[in-house]
């Protein structure tokens, strides 16, 4: 495997004991998820130093479940250690004070498996064989010892297991301080304010269209999530999710890996995510090519992905022999449908859903304040959150006019600035615009600046201030200003 997307045994050895145990737990969950099995069969957690009875991670599958490989038996227990475990340490671990641990006896009685994992264990063949022999030596005189499978996973074996799950490669690299720039494993991609444990708020009125919007009946969000999962679980599938800014596209993508929603969630261990605004390195096309060349299965998610990059990713990921499916996300709504791509359109959320989101994010808001903010947002969660952030505990926005609500959203406790407002109004006439070039054939700022009665340099500074206030979005050289007109832009997608 290439060094771009690899995890080395030495990186496994750098994990502390808490992270190592979490890695083994995540690997067990990933292994079951990749086979379409429930991850509820995996139990792990608690403090690393707590009394665990001799097991850190346990897998308990129903009778008749087909399983093999890294999880060799229906009942498999892992004892996780960062230090190397030589013969004497293995014997002491399995037989403290000379007696076999009850949990190991239980595994033997149930025809299970017992595996010691050591992140700093020797990778030499002879040393590994000696450790496996010590495992069997500890079972001398134990009832049903012949029914118990035993093994020793050193850092090399663990690294090989991690390589099968690309999301865990990025996870390991983050933990040891060698993360790939801009690339992230499964996590709270839509924002750090809520973790992955936060419930995905379902909206009976949310409209999701497959095949674009033209004459295609909308589907419920749960049905749409399951349909997207059915597509992306297969390599070579290419999906493009589009919709206006702030309607919850990234949060919907995150829900595809959430086992609490619908059926057959995508395995989180397959997820590899980047946002183009984070300037990922390596770039997505090279990254996808590397995954495919090394026969690594993955669900690649590219947020804020422009059309030209989508087409190049589609060419790579849909080709024969690909091991990767790809989902790109874009706020720029267009009429074209790229060849070989399933286009999915997400409409704005209902006021009821926005109200639930605001109340969860800002519990100090009253019911009527949340209702007012939700109605004013026009179904745009980003606008609703930005407006809610301006409301103090003792304040109310009930009874304010639309203009007063807008001024509160736009100013955000800053002094009035008519020039900034004119800049926002001009920029909101288009879905997105080139926000860096001040001159040349491709420059769009001069044309927008003329509409605002400003110079291109003045408009450039004002767009920077809109970004700071979270009233605009950035994707590479592209900018979008939906909030200035409550996400109701007029005109075409380009000036």
End-to-end CA distance of the chain: 46
Q: Are residues 138 and 264 in the same domain?
A: no
Q: Are residues 125 and 205 in the same domain?
A: no
Q: Are residues 321 and 199 in the same domain?
A: yes
| 194-251: pLDDT as tens digits | 777 888 877 666 678 887 545 556 777 888 899 999 999 999 999 999 887 677 889 8
Domain boundary among 376, 398, 415: 415
Q: Are residues 40 and 130 in the same domain?
A: yes
Pair 334, 309: CB distance under 8 Å: no
CA distances from 380 to 224, 247, 304, 353 (A): 20, 5, 17, 10
Q: How many domains does the chain have?
A: 4
Confirm whether 171 is domain-assigned.
Answer: no
Domain range enclosing 228:
183-346
CB atoms within 10 A of CB 491: 10
| Distance from C-alpha of 327 to C-alpha of 350, rounded to nearest angstrom | 25
Instruction: Tell me the longest C-alpha to C-alpha distance in the chain.
Output: 90
CA distances from 354 to 278, 360, 361 (A): 27, 10, 10
Which CATH number goes with the domain that contains 425?
Answer: 1.10.10.10
Spell out, as residue ranges, where the chain has pLDDT lower than 50.
Answer: 1-3, 48-51, 213, 484-495
3-state helix, strand, coil in the chain (%, to 5): 40, 15, 45
| 295-342: pLDDT as tens digits | 888 999 999 888 889 999 999 999 999 999 999 998 755 555 677 788
Q: Are residues 134 and 273 in the same domain?
A: no
CB atoms within 10 A of CB 364: 11
């Amino acid at each position: 495997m290439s060094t771009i997307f690899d995890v080395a045994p030495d990186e496994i050895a750098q994990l502390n004991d808490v992270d190592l145990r979490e890695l083994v737990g995540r690997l067990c969950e990933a292994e079951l998820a990749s086979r379409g099995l429930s991850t509820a069969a995996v139990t792990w957690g608690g403090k690393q130093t707590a009394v665990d009875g001799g097991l850190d991670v346990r897998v308990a599958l129903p009778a008749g479940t087909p399983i093999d490989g890294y999880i060799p038996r229906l009942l498999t227990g892992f004892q996780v250690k960062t230090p190397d475990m030589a013969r004497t340490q293995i014997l002491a671990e399995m037989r403290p004070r000379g007696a076999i641990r009850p949990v190991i006896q239980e595994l033997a009685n149930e025809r299970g498996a017992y595996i010691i994992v050591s992140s700093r264990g020797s990778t030499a063949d002879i040393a590994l064989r000696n450790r496996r022999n010590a495992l069997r030596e500890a079972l001398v005189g134990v009832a049903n010892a012949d029914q118990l499978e035993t093994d020793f996973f050193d850092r090399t074996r663990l690294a090989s297991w991690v390589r099968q799950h690309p999301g865990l490669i990025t996870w390991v690299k983050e933990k040891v301080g060698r993360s790939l720039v801009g690339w992230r494993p499964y996590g709270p991609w839509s924002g750090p304010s809520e973790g992955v444990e936060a419930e995905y708020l379902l909206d009976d009125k949310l409209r999701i269209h497959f095949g674009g919007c033209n004459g295609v009946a909308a589907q419920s969000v749960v049905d749409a999530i399951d349909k997207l999962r059915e597509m992306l679980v297969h390599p070579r599938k290419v999906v493009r999710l589009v919709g206006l800014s702030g309607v919850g596209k990234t949060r919907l993508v995150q829900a595809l890996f959430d086992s609490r929603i619908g059926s057959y969630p995508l395995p989180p261990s397959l997820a590899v995510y980047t946002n183009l605004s984070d300037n990922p390195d390596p770039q997505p096309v090279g990254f996808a090519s590397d995954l495919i060349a090394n026969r690594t299965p993955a669900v690649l998610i590219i947020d804020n992905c422009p059309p030209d990059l989508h087409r190049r990713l589609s060419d790579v990921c849909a080709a024969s022999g690909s091991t990767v499916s790809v989902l790109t996300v874009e706020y720029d709504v267009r009429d074209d449908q790229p060849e070989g791509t399933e286009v999915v359109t997400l409409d704005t959320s209902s006021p009821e859903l926005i109200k639930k989101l605001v109340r969860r994010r800002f519990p100090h808001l009253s019911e009527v304040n949340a209702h007012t903010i939700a109605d004013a947002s026009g179904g745009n969660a980003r606008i609703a959150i930005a407006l809610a952030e301006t409301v103090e505990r003792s304040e109310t926005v009930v009874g304010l006019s639309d203009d007063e609500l807008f001024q509160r959203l736009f100013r955000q406790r800053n002094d009035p600035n008519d020039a900034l407002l004119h800049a926002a109004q001009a920029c909101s006439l288009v879905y997105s615009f080139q926000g860096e070039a001040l001159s040349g054939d491709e420059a769009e700022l001069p044309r927008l600046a003329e509409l605002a009665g400003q110079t291109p340099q003045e408009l450039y500074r004002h767009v920077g201030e809109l970004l700071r206030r979270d009233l605009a979005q950035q994707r590479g050289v592209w900018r979008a200003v939906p909030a200035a007109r409550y996400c109701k832009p007029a005109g075409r997608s380009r000036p």
